[in-house]
Chain A
């Protein structure tokens, strides 16, 4: 069944996608599956293991399940400090 998910892009992901956020309709169940789907669409080359993900403002991992209405934040490799 299709879910409506809001995806928010940051830093280099936002520049590659050309948008800061979008609402997508998808059948994927996990954050990793979502990332793979968007990686192809937006040419996000950064390895999954170097990126982070959050769901509804809580840090999640790449096995986390996503549900209809979630907001998923995709974080490219971080570089604070």
Chain B
């Protein structure tokens, strides 16, 4: 699991998971979209506390390897300012068969979203900006 301030090279990330025993690869890309909660979004800024984001991310990937019968998994998350359409987070999983790759990929992205010290600030068309509440917190409130 890595945090990067530059663009994610998805082809290169996927290639790192190539394994001659793998019959399946599942990937997830989280993209920056132009609308949230009724506001037109122009830009996103991710603040990341990298030491714990990377160590906790590695823990999540290790958990996925223990829970699901997969061959390998990787994750990468952006920090800093992102434009609409950019890839903010990428997860890739290789396995012998597809079910395990899908399940592990879902497990990893779901846990990345609620466990890593990452915060998202949206910049809106009307000049305002705001920190986005996490999905789980919003649901609990």
B-binding residues in A (CB < 8 A): 10-12, 50, 52, 54, 57-59, 73, 75-81
Is the Cβ of B89 less than 8 Å from the Cβ of A80? yes
Task: Give the size of the chain B interface in residues (CB under 8 angstroms).
Answer: 30
Considering only CB atoms, which chain A residue lies closest to B46 in the complex?
A: A80
Q: Give the chain A neighbours of B49 by CB distance below 8 A.
A: 10, 73, 75
Q: A50-B140, A57-B52, A59-B52 are in contact. Are A80 and B131 (CB under 8 A)?
A: no
Is the Cβ of B112 less than 8 Å from the Cβ of A80? yes
Dominant SS at the B interface? mixed
Q: A78-B116, A80-B113 are in contact. Are A11 and B133 (CB under 8 A)?
A: no
A-binding residues in B (CB < 8 A): 30, 46-49, 51-53, 56, 77, 88-89, 109, 112-121, 131-135, 137, 140
Q: Give the chain A neighbours of B115 by CB distance below 8 A.
A: 78
CA distance A27 to B113 in the complex (A): 34
Considering only CB atoms, which chain B residue lies closest to A15 in the complex?
A: B131
Closest chain-B Cβ to A52's Cβ sits at a distance in Å of: 7
